[in-house]
Amino acid sequence: MTTETELTPHARVIESRDQLIGHFACGEKPAERWRIGTEHEKFVYARADHHAPSWDEPGGIRDLLTALTDHGWRPVEENGPDGPKVIALAGADGSVSLEPAGQFELSGAPLENLHQTCAETGRHLDQVKAAGERLGLGFLGLGMWPDKARSDLPVMPKGRYDIMRRHMPRVGSLGLDMMLRTCTIQVNLDYRSEADMVKKFRVGLALQPLATALFANSPFTEGRPNGFLSFRSHIWSDTDPQRTGMLPFVFEDGFGYERYADYMLDVPMYFVYRDGRYIDAAGLSFRDFLKGELSVLPGEMPTLDDWNDHLSTAFPEVRLKTFLEMRGADGGPWNRICALPALWVGLLYDPAALDAAWDLVQDWSLDDRQALRDAVPKLALDAPLPDGGKLRDIAGAVLDIAHAGLAARARTNAAGDDETGFLDPLREIVRAGKTPAEVLLERYHGAWNGDVSRVYEEFSF
């Protein structure tokens, strides 16, 4: 989730719809300036009893944020009814922010290659583990809390989350689960032009179910198998239909910045951020805001900051800001945090790989893509393909394309290794034929003897 961390240069009033569209064009970059931004969330728990710590309890989330300032992070405060509170950190490695129930997220800096990305991930995990040792906290890399009910979880003191928590039950039955009980890995990537954005968007959407399958890692709810391999992915199917999904219009002729801007104008608002606080605008229209007719701020016109905030409140499988976000993966361990950007950089950052990936999916219909998306949360790699067979049948070919794309980039580390090795965890999943969730279920039905709490021993960072 986006956190308001500091003043931005976008506080200019929007004077025309063209500015909304032009915002996306501002993200265009030549290939030599393309970067990789990786975001990953993890569950925080007290080692003594596995409870999820609140923000203000001794040894809780506030103390964890404070402990990380020893590593050069700067605290970011948000005003609330009880005064300012530290709710995020900023630093050279990007920002650390809190999801609604205290899930701990690193939104990494934009980096040139995957070696830097994985080093950044390693630094962050070393820092939080060191802080956790002092505070009695552990960190779990899964897609969903394996044993916690909503009522077991705290709520972080962030104004936008209060607004979302009130609004979510009005539009879907699982939105609060999304907020409180899930973790993900995401990667943010650049584009050179509108046409390049369109092609990457389409490939990203069509193959997002494969990423969901390879990273499926949320088979438990409240201590028992839930019948899914990625329950986190299933949750999005009943969160809020106006701001989620596979966006079929992306595949229509003429799709581009303008069409995405129109989509976002039709996504209901959540909030407006003013003077250090969030104003509830849930369900209101950004189109009215553009006319100065937003009921909670009558006569006031939006700024580009407001537009950028609004863009962060849609949750499709791929999201456009001034970059593209790949959003389909469950949270997981260190090596899969590095593997997700490897997959998408390999597919999208080399022209030949992008062409090959598009050739693989371009004939799939709207119904084909939706059926695959609908099947993956339960079946993962066994989800049926549009033209017969199963998703696992193309997984190796897609990884081969990504491998070729990474090899063509030829970005090496000091030892002379290129980026292709970061795909190895995904190669192993395909070779073994078992998703991470299936490995967890084997443990649950075997060595764990039905005791899901064993996950804390075996799958913590």
Alpha-carbon gap, residue 238 to 310, rounded angstroms: 21
* Integer angstrom CA distances of residue 275 from 6, 35, 67, 294, 422: 12, 32, 28, 17, 43
pLDDT computed for residue 303 by the predictor: 97
Q: How far from 131 is each of 70, 108, 156, 266, CA to CA, in Å? A: 9, 19, 19, 43
- What is the reported pLDDT for 80? 83
Nearest to 97 by CA among 124, 135, 134, 59: 124
Say whether pLDDT at 4 is over 50: no
**Confidence category of residue 7, pLDDT binned at 50, 70, 90:** very low
- Which whole number is the average pLDDT over 55-63? 98
pLDDT at 302: 97
Given a cut of 90, whether residue 135 has pLDDT beyond it is: yes
Residues near 181 by beta carbon (within 8 Å), at least 6 away in sequence: 101, 144, 145, 148, 150, 153
d(CA 332, CA 437): 10
Does position 2 have pLDDT exceeding 50, yes or no?
Answer: no
Name the average pLDDT for the chain: 96
Binned at pLDDT 50, 70 and 90, residue 270 comes out as: very high
**Res 10 pLDDT > 60:** no
CA end-to-end distance (rounded Å), the chain: 22
User: Looking only at Cα atoms, what is the longest distance across the chain?
Assistant: 64
> Which residues does 234 contact at the CB level (< 8 Å), separation at least 6?
174, 228, 377, 378
Q: Would the pLDDT of 186 be above 80?
A: yes
- Which residues are registered as beta bridge partners of 230? 218
> What is residue 5's predicted lDDT score, i.e. its pLDDT?
43
- Split at pLDDT 50, 70, 90, the class of 82 is confident
> If pLDDT is split at 50, 70 and 90, which confidence band does 126 have?
very high
3-state secondary structure 251-319: HCCCCCHHHHHHHHHHCCCCEEEECCEEEECCCCCHHHHHCCCCCCCCCCCCEHHHHHHHHCCCEECEE
Confidence at 450, pLDDT banded by 50, 70, 90: very high
Which pair of structure tokens corresponds to residue 253? 């002729």
Q: What pLDDT shows up at residue 323? A: 98
Helix (H) or strand (E) holding 400: helix 392-409
Judged against a pLDDT cut of 80, whether residue 63 lies above it is answered with: yes
Residues 6+ apart with CB under 8 A from 133: none
Q: How many CB atoms lie within 10 A of CB 296?
A: 15
DSSP letter for 106, please. E
pLDDT at 6: 41
CB 418 within 8 A of CB 410: yes
Reported confidence tier of residue 300, pLDDT bands at 50, 70, 90: very high
Q: Are 40 and 106 in contact (CB under 8 A)?
A: yes
Domains within the chain, CATH numbers bracketed: 17-267+314-458 (3.30.590.20)
Q: What is the mean pLDDT of residues 113-123?
A: 98
Task: Specify the range with the lowest mean pLDDT, choosing from 9-13, 221-225, 319-323, 355-359.
Answer: 9-13
Which letter does DSSP use for residue 136 in this model? T
Q: What is the pLDDT of residues 375-414, one digit of tens each?
A: 999 999 999 999 899 999 999 999 999 999 999 999 999 9
